Structure 1
């Protein structure tokens, strides 16, 4: 392969959707109560902490109950209304470098899908939903048992968070 050629590796992602009886606002509040209300300045940490141990300690101080922290949000609902789509839609980027490293050790291209993204949507009748693409279905594109094992642990953590925040009463 020359420098100007590209290599295409097809893969298929699996979309997971949790429907909730919670309102959109309740779902957003539940997720942010777990991962944090303000984005963590994760890109600043490597400059401020010179060892893995100090970096890890700083990261751990920002991790929410389910093992994730907030990186950023995109309020799609704020701009799609301009195109005539009246829906509440929030894309939320969450992650944890201490989880990500368990996958990047086996394939740095797994970093294309770490951190993970969830989409919160206001549905009809005051309900809501949380949707994401199962990380292992995006990260593991070739036979790599160690990467698969780490990515499946991330799948489980993300599923547990989704189940927790979508259940009424939490």
Structure 2
């Protein structure tokens, strides 16, 4: 029997929070439009059925179009089950979106497959407890997709490009696209 090893790698995850006075429902509506939620409904089935690079690109291009960098994969609403569990009705709306783009992902994964731990990336949309706005929260991709033993320039450029796209998306859906941060 071969030797077994346990390797622990320390990453310093950076959490980005966009704080907006926009109501949760407006942020969600903006996000759904930005990731073409309606048009992305069966993206995973279509991608599984693709037999070539060209077919994958056609599926993605048909959904993203010119304006959208990301596709919708799924969301998980935490507040409904928390309300049921705690027997309340006032848990702030809390939904985790899984979004991404296989064309962006392949540009990262070809440099380090371990980045797949965080691909596709996620956004947490969190209604403020006092209902005065919404927080959009995500892990900065470059802080969790670049491992200390592989800091290649190509990987760094690909992941930092994703950082910029995520920031642009967050600014767009929070109404902060013209605010310096």
TM-score by length of 1: 0.90
Aligned residues: 168
Q: Does 1:117 align with 2:118?
A: no
Query: Match for residue 155 of structure 2?
Result: 147
Judged with a 3 Å threshold, the aligned counterparts in structure 2 of structure 1 residues 104 and 168 are, in CA distance, closer, same or farther, namely closer
C-alpha contact (below 8 Å) 1:109/1:139 kept by paired residues = yes
C-alpha contact (below 8 Å) 2:37/2:71 kept by paired residues = no
Residue deviations 1:104-156, cap 9 Å, x none? 01011111111110001111243111000001100001222211110000000
CA distance in 2, matches of 1:60, 1:144: 28
Matching of residues 1-170 of structure 1 within 5 Å: 2=2, 4-38=4-38, 39-63=40-64, 65-81=67-83, 82-83=85-86, 86-123=91-128, 124-142=130-148, 143-167=151-175
Judged with a 3 Å threshold, the aligned counterparts in structure 2 of structure 1 residues 3 and 27 are, in CA distance, closer, same or farther, namely farther
Superposed displacement of residue 40, structure 1:
3.8
C-alpha contact (below 8 Å) 2:44/2:73 kept by paired residues = no
Structure 2 gap ranges (5+): none
C-alpha contact (below 8 Å) 1:40/1:62 kept by paired residues = no
| RMSD (Å), alpha carbons | 1.9
Structure 1 gap ranges (5+): none
